[in-house]
Amino acid sequence: MTIETVSTNRSFGGTQGVYKHSSRETGTPMVFSVFVPDHAPGAKLPVVWYLSGLTCTHANVTEKGEFRRACAELGLIFVAPDTSPRGDDVPDDEAYDFGKGAGFYVDATAAPWAANFRMRSYIESELPETIGAHFPADMARQGIMGHSMGGHGALTISLRNPGRFRATSAFAPIVSPLHCPWGEKALGGYLGADRAAWREYDACALIEDGARVPELLVDQGGADTFLKEQLKPELLEAACAKAGIPLTLGLREGYDHSYYFISTFMEPHLRWHHERLTR
């Protein structure tokens, strides 16, 4: 469980690091970033996970997410993993929405993807072990958030692991891959044609099948070009209403799908997480 330090930088009274390790789950080197606020010796800090969207790596939110000032003030460790395995021997697809950069946080079962595309196990098991071993992280106080494909990841991982995350939020999440072109392509390609096997990777289906979280926070840009065809927050709203899950859904008029949107609402989300992680 050794890690290599790629870079470190001081920022807002903390340390922004980028790290690399050899993953047992993906069979490849994996890169992730961690921001650690300054803290008293021996102190353990709550952790917020951020899962990125299609085409992204750890670097997108690390460079454009504008989270460090709030994390330093609130005392939150911020972890940003990659979205897929990487490397010359890893299978890929020419399209942006499948293959490298588009792991969809699933454990693939179909060839040739099954050997490397194990992002579910990497995020749910391997990387938390690594963070707990190498950083001053209080793994009893975790929150998770994500954007778009990463919002799908955050919602489904939280729903599948009841009690692990005290707070769950998302920016413009893919709420039901069973009912959008991105999801049908990804889940069909990674898991095969049996749609019943897709349900554990669909937030709305998980809720319908009995999974629960205490509450959810979701922000969605009203000018997001993917809103109607791919994201469909109304499906999550209906699923939460039927299941009795409190959902705070903010439709932010004029905002799109980009990091201009994410960075605008990053601090309110972090403060929401902090409130729940420090109760």
224 is catalytic: yes
Which one is catalytic: 58, 147, 257, 273? 257
Catalytic residue among 148, 158, 169, 176: 148
Catalytic residue (one of 176, 224, 269, 274): 224
DSSP the chain: ---EEEEEEEETTEEEEEEEEE-TTTSSEEEEEEEEE---TT--EEEEEEE--TT--THHHHHHS--HHHHHHHT-EEEEE-SS--STTS---SSTTSBTTB-TT-B--STTTTTT-BHHHIIIIIHHHHHHHHS-EEEEEEEEEEETHHHHHHHHHHHHSTTTEEEEEEES----GGGSHHHHHHHHHHH-S-GGGGGGG-HHHHHHTT---S-EEEEEETT-TTIIIII-HHHHHHHHHHHT--EEEEEETT--SSHHHHHHHHHHHHHHHHHHH--
Residues with active-site annotation: 148, 224, 257
